[in-house]
Chain A
Amino acid sequence: MDLSHLVKLDDYRWSVPLAAGETRAPVCLYGSEPLLASMDDKVLEQITNVARLPGLVGAAMTMPDAHWGYGFPIGGVAAFDAEQGGIISAGGVGFDISCGIRCLRTNLVITDILPQMKMLADILFHTIPAGVGEEGELKLAPAELDRVLAGGAQWAVKHGYGVAEDLDYIEERGQVAGAVPENVSDHAKKRQRGEMGTLGSGNHYLEVQVVDRIYDTEAAQAFGLSEGQVVVSIHCGSRGLGHQIGTEYLITLAKAASRLGVTLPDRELACAPITSPEGQQYIGAMNAAINCALANRQILAHLTREVFARILPEARLETLFDVSHNTCKVEQHKVDGRQRELYVHRKGATRAFGPGHPALPERYRAVGQPVIIGGSMGTGSYVLAGTRESETRAWSSASHGAGRAMSRHQALRRWSGRQLVDELAERGIIIRTRSMRGAAEEAPGAYKDVDQVAEVTEKAGLARRVAFLRPKACIKG
């Protein structure tokens, strides 16, 4: 990105000055000079387009891991007020609605499982359906799928996938309100029929990790994390159902915008006023997809526990937290001293409530919400905690991943999947994948430096680092 277009507010905050005659809301980019310089100029173009949408409250923002997306940049955050003509955007949520990370802490230390690590990776790989075309064993009748879309992870727990305690550590206790299964098409429901309890492919993964470093002892203690401990992270979303809703509503909302007089600087921003029939329909369908994703990760967590129990009967896997990073959520935020209801779009961004937030479970209330920045399969991931400052800076939002540094085609030209898997094995990281092409596209070198992203996220006041997780085994689609 050409930084000459930006104004530096401080070391980690940048704005974009208005051109002569230009009218739009402010833009705020969070990031260090090197991180911003490495971003594509399209990030700036896309977030500036977001700032032109009606009803935006505050600034259109990007997180330190931002990269070029479709419509919104990935790592984009924007809040809209329905009473001020605010919009809901399918492009601001993304196709993989409620894609997110479930993090499970275990009572094991790395030396407990090293002798069984290969066996563990193999059995996880054969148990967790992953990759294009793979289906899960759970096949739901249409009426039951509607109950999943209304019930989310609560449906899963009720049907024996996991335990009730899991729900305390999932956003919205595993069930977002406002889901309308009737707003989800038959095509979407049919597409999901074989996809409950599946991981998907691309950047989705199930990873066995070790806590390599603690940054914040108090928060780590609250999160139940200590050095050498084994944790498991599951990254996936609402699968075919969410993809179908995203694709169908993209065109519906693009046409609605045109009909309702909403000027779209980019058609991919496809949106409609929150209060419009099309906007309300999408919100109901999107919430159903969020519940689908929460149920999906709950089922995958259950399957993971079953695998651990077969190999390590003494293992206990507890949910540390489950965060979504492709959503629009209705939240209360203070604006100019007044509490307002806002529709907060986070596309490739994680909600990061600070200490004391009433939505947090009692165990984490003093330290803030766990925020998970998923890194690449060769580098590692971070657990962070939400901060109070983030509320005023970014509607309590933070980074969600390392963020891509190069395209998938560039990665394919540079790396061979087989060679990469072998190199990682030499470094003690076991990769099990059904797609060597996918492995090459997901090469660690194709991503930004996750250490920098986490450090800058902290220095920008969005969330503070708690622990670094190093990968030991990774299941990819």
Chain B
Amino acid sequence: MMSYGYFEHDADTGIIGRGNTPEEAFISAAEAMFAIMVDITTVHAVQHVQFDFEEADVEFALVTWLNRLLTEARMHGLVFGRFHLHRSGVRWEGGAWGESWRDALEKGVEVKGATLTLLSVQSSPAGWEARCVVDV
């Protein structure tokens, strides 16, 4: 049941990621965020980056995950379309596949960072939902 969506914010954009686990919801949130910048279905998975971080607070972990992806993308001049994430206690190991920007990729709007605004990671009978506002 992984899926992503958006919610309204005056100046920026609210993103929502859904999944059966927090990790799946985080992956969906990453898709929502990168879909603001590019049509993620058109991104070729030719390069891979991997990283890990420690964070006990699951909501801060969502923001850290999203911001780390933005950092890795900009440091390596990449755009991502696919993501993976694994959690073991407070340790999160994740990564993404993507490629360098090329002319055929239609550009959306740059996301500057994920914020703590309207940040929540919650479970319900339908599954997990992760949301926050990203600054564009």
Contact = CB atoms under 8 A, between A and B. Distances in A.
Interface of A: 40, 42, 67-71, 74, 91, 94-96, 131-135, 187, 190-191, 193-195, 200-202, 240, 243-244, 246-248, 250-251, 254-255, 266-268, 270, 404, 406-410, 434-438, 441, 477
B54 to A, nearest CB: 12
Interface string B28-56: 00000000011000000000000000000
A406 B110 CA distance: 19
Interface in B11-40: 11-13, 37-38
B113 A247 contact: yes
B16 to A, nearest CB: 12
A94 B67 CA distance: 15
B67 A435 contact: no
Given A133-B77, A407-B8, A71 B117 contact: yes
A244 B112 CA distance: 8
Contacts of A40: 10
B64 interface: yes
Contact of A270 (B37, B64, B116): B116
Interface stretch (B88-96, B101-109, B122-130): B101-109
Given A70-B117, A254-B116, A132 B71 contact: no
Contact of B113 (A194, A243, A436): A243
Nearest to A255: B60
Contacts of B121: none
A69 B11 contact: yes
Contact of A67 (B10, B107, B114, B115): B10
A406 B13 CA distance: 11
A132 B110 CA distance: 5
Contacts of A190: 75
Contacts of A267: 116, 119
Contacts, number: 132
Given A190-B75, A268-B115, A404 B110 contact: no
Given A187-B71, A251-B60, A408-B136, A68 B113 contact: no
B75 A435 contact: no
A376 to B, nearest CB: 13
A406 B8 CA distance: 9
Contacts of A67: 10-11
B10 A407 contact: yes
Given A202-B109, A251-B64, A441-B109, A404 B11 contact: yes
Given A187-B71, A202-B136, A247-B67, A407 B112 contact: no
Contacts of B109: 132, 201-202, 408, 435, 437-438, 441, 477
Closest 5 CB pairs of A and B: A133-B101, A70-B117, A132-B110, A68-B10, A247-B113
B11 A409 contact: no
A330 to B, nearest CB: 25
A70 B133 contact: yes
A202 B136 CA distance: 6
B46 to A, nearest CB: 15
Contacts of B13: 407-409
A248 B53 CA distance: 13
Nearest to A201: B110
A74 B77 CA distance: 30
